[in-house]
């Protein structure tokens, strides 16, 4: 065995451009940034960062080796590091293996004290492996007949405790008030008190005649997922909702099997997206779009999750911008949204957003239907007593 500090970087550089490459951007903290960068490139492609094997050939490195493209120090011991990964190293159409490749063994190296994945540059050769959203923003608007305004989403509350009949009544009240989209809260599981197929059937019967997308929460064990999809199709349910805690490959499978509107929910993501070893949520937005998200909880500007305009615009560009012909994803903004925020969010972020609410919809002083109508009236820029009452209660942004 040979021991090399940095094998064949010249050869790797020479091969750059002759193969399709996924480029990652990390923020890394280390006492030796160059060694840390090399450890990522070597350890996440060919081998051990410090030990070389006799069977590692130049040709192998040219085809399969990662390359450190740039190290940009930002402060003492911290740098942004760009590393390219050959697309051929990654299981085609898979997200689990993609993440294993780019956020894997480097976390176990003491030299790397922090490693945050903050960006991906996706090549056409990789994007072409994914179907992406089934409908995208244009398909959503065509289904609803809703154009030139933000969409309004309603979230079922109470989160859990409702019977199937009560849940169906709540959904009908929201639809009657004019919401475009209804999703169950991610807390609601496939529980005995409110069985999945039972509630889906009751809700869809109540929503007959309304132009609304209902997205029940699919949180079943993997063995039950095919049955859940069958239930959605049986009752003509146009959507489903899946949480970040499920595998994104499972979400991709559900999206492809269902064939219509899928919603990817971010609640819980900070365990993944914050900290010394983490993945920025913007990267999860990219991956969710590949996996088929027609809708995604993109965060919030205002409310009790104020992530700022620059952050939201950056995420929205990832979700709505061009991506080698892939359909785009409708960003849903929620976490404290009120009717008085709708116009401001529209002006700052554009019409292709969905403003979603639970508490400030159902908590309207005149009830759930009035709360839904207040949001819809705001999206239509239409005055009404319901909107006035909401603004008197929660104010206007």
> Is the predicted pLDDT of residue 199 greater than 50, yes or no?
yes
Token look-up 């819809």 returns 376
Mean pLDDT, residues 219-247: 95
pTM for the model: 0.93
Task: Say if residues 294 and 330 touch (Cβ distance below 8 Å).
Answer: yes
pLDDT at 53: 74
Q: In what order do the strands lie in the sheet with 67-75?
A: 67-75, 78-86, 21-30, 112-121, 277-279
> Is the predicted pLDDT of residue 48 greater than 80, yes or no?
no
pLDDT at 49: 63
* SS3 annotation, 341-377: HHHHHHHHHCCCCEEEECHHHHCCCCCHHHHHHHHHH
Q: Which residues contact residue 95 at a Cβ distance below 8 angstroms, ignoring those fewer than 6 apart? A: 247, 248, 249, 252, 287, 290, 291
- Cα torsion 57, 42, 21, 134 to 10°: value is 120
The residue among 205 and 48 whose pLDDT is bigger is: 205
pLDDT tens-digit readout, 76-105: 999 999 999 999 999 999 999 999 999 999
Torsion 348-353-354-357 (CA) sign: negative
> Is the predicted pLDDT of residue 234 greater than 90, yes or no?
yes
Alpha helices in 69-135 (DSSP H): 96-102, 124-127
Mean pLDDT, residues 368-384: 98
List the domains of the chain with CATH numbers. Answer: 14-127 (3.30.70.150), 136-394 (3.20.20.110)
pLDDT at 37: 97
Task: Say if residues 377 and 342 touch (Cβ distance below 8 Å).
Answer: no
pLDDT tens-digit readout, 54-81: 788 888 888 999 999 999 999 999 999 9
> Is the predicted pLDDT of residue 165 greater than 50, yes or no?
yes
Q: In what order do the strands lie in the sheet with 261-265?
A: 213-215, 181-183, 151-155, 354-357, 330-333, 295-299, 261-265, 239-243
Task: Say if residues 127 and 155 touch (Cβ distance below 8 Å).
Answer: no
Task: Say if residues 79 and 100 touch (Cβ distance below 8 Å).
Answer: no
pLDDT tens-digit readout, 114-129: 999 999 999 999 999 9
pLDDT tens-digit readout, 299-345: 999 999 999 999 999 999 999 999 999 999 999 999 999 999 999 99
> Is the predicted pLDDT of residue 11 greater than 70, yes or no?
no
Tokens matching residue 379: 């999206």
Mean pLDDT, residues 146-175: 98
H-run or E-run covering 80: strand 78-86
> Is the predicted pLDDT of residue 5 greater than 70, yes or no?
no
pLDDT tens-digit readout, 262-298: 999 999 999 999 999 999 999 999 999 999 999 999 9
């Amino acid at each position: 065995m040979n021991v090399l500090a940095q094998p064949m970087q010249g050869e790797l550089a020479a091969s750059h451009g002759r193969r399709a490459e996924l480029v990652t951007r990390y923020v890394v903290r280390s006492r030796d940034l160059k060694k840390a960068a090399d450890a990522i490139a070597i350890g996440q492609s060919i081998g051990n960062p410090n030990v070389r094997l006799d069977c590692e050939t130049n040709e192998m490195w040219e085809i399969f080796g990662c390359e450190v493209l740039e190290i940009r120090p930002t402060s003492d011991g911290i740098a942004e590091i760009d590393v390219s990964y050959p697309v051929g190293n990654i299981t085609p159409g898979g997200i689990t293996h993609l993440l294993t490749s780019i956020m894997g063994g480097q976390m176990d190296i003491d030299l790397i004290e922090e490693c945050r994945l903050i960006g991906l540059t996706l090549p056409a050769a990789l994007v072409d492996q994914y179907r992406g959203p089934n409908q995208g923003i244009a398909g959503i608007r065509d289904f609803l007949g809703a154009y030139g305004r933000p969409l309004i989403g309603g979230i079922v509350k109470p989160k859990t405790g409702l019977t199937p009949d009560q849940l169906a009544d709540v959904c009908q009240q929201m639809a009657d008030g004019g919401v475009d989209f209804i999703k169950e809260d991610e807390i609601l599981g496939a529980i005995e008190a409110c069985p999945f197929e039972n509630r889906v059937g009751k809700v869809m019967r109540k929503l007959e005649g309304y132009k609304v997308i209902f997205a029940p929460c699919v949180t079943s064990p993997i063995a039950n997922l095919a049955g859940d999809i069958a239930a959605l199709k049986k009752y003509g349910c146009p959507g489903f909702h899946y949480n970040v805690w499920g595998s994104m490959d499972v979400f991709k499978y559900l999206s492809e099997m269902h064939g219509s509107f899928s919603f990817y929910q971010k609640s819980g993501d900070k365990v993944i997206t914050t900290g010394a070893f983490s993945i920025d949520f913007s990267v999860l937005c990219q991956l969710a779009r590949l996996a088929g998200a027609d809708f995604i909880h993109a965060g919030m500007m205002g409310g009790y999750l104020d992530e700022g305009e620059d952050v939201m615009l950056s995420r929205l560009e990832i979700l709505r911008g061009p991506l080698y012909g892939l359909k785009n994803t409708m960003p849903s903004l929620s976490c404290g949204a009120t009717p008085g925020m709708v116009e401001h969010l529209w002006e700052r972020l554009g019409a292709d957003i969905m403003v979603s609410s639970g508490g400030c919809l159902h908590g309207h002083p005149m009830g759930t239907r009035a709360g839904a109508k207040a949001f819809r009236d705001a999206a239509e820029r239409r005055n009404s007593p319901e909107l006035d009452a909401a603004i008197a209660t929660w104010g206007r942004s």
